[in-house]
A = this chain, B = another copy of it.
Amino acid sequence: MIGPRIEQPQLREITEVISEAPGVKTLVIRHSTAYKPGQFFMIWLPGVGEKPFSLSHHFEGEVGITVKERGPFTHALFSLTPGSAIGLRGPYGNGFSVVERSRRACVVAGGIGIVPLAALIDRLQQPLVIYGARSQDLLIFRNRFPEVSFATDDGSEGFHGSAVEAFRSLLDPKATDVVYTCGPEPMMRQVFDICEAHHLPCQAALERYIKCGIGICGQCCCDGYLVCRDGPVFSSSLLRQLSDFGRSARLRDGRVTTIEDYASWRES
């Protein structure tokens, strides 16, 4: 027999709630798990719903999810307090692959896309981190990274402009051996195109509407690939094949929409 594998949410206690920025909170959860940054958990609120979240940190016996308030589900997450219970199942997907290399990794984050990258940065050796947000008050985890270049759309902190522009100006292709990115998909598409121009391997964490999370329903498909199982992290060889990447995504009912419409919520 194959299996049994049991995908059921486990209820866990929230031990701490941290306000990171207006509309962004971290929930610290008592939980032990093996985890690779970029993977995700399905977070269950009984009676409310279940949605995918990356971990923003992962210690022994404790994990964090960092949530941007968007709609009904994240709103409900925001109402939780220490002592509340929350359901998790996972981790799912493939995560970023970290290899020991001679040169430097570059991390390009846009908005809430910093979340899975933060957990990744914890495991990298002195990466170049470029992190853009709409304005200074939306930057989170400010003191967490040893070295980081901020970019803000309104110039309120660091580079005045988008993370992509900052990346373009800060990138030293010769000194870099891999680029990790997460953020609004049009941004990731631009980062990828820059990497391609420089023949730099890129890993991008995609988002699609997740239902099952375990590769059975097909709802998260991106061309023939499943974001929940083949992704959410895709590297260059696959990104090249994904005609949907940066262009289109599917709504909850499977309808195709432009990535701008789909991803508008993610811009921070």
- Which A positions have Cβ atoms within 8 angstroms of B? 1, 4, 6
Contact = CB atoms under 8 A, between A and B. Distances in A.
Nearest to A4: B1
A15 B234 CA distance: 57
Main DSSP-derived SS at the A contact region: loop
Nearest to A1: B4
- Number of chain copies forming the complex: 2
Contacts of A1: 4, 6
A2 to B, nearest CB: 11
Contacts of A6: 1
A1 B4 CA distance: 9
A35 B173 CA distance: 68
3 contacts: A1-B4, A1-B6, A4-B4
Contacts of A4: 1, 4
A1 to B, nearest CB: 6
A7 to B, nearest CB: 14
A95 to B, nearest CB: 28
A4 B1 CA distance: 9
A6 B6 CA distance: 20
A102 to B, nearest CB: 47
A140 to B, nearest CB: 41
Pairs A-B, 3 closest by C-beta atoms: A1-B4, A4-B4, A1-B6
A140 B1 CA distance: 43
Nearest to A6: B1
A178 to B, nearest CB: 41
A4 B4 CA distance: 9
A7 B144 CA distance: 57
A20 B133 CA distance: 90
A1 B5 CA distance: 10
A168 to B, nearest CB: 54
A6 B1 CA distance: 10
A51 B1 CA distance: 27
A98 to B, nearest CB: 34
A1 B6 CA distance: 10
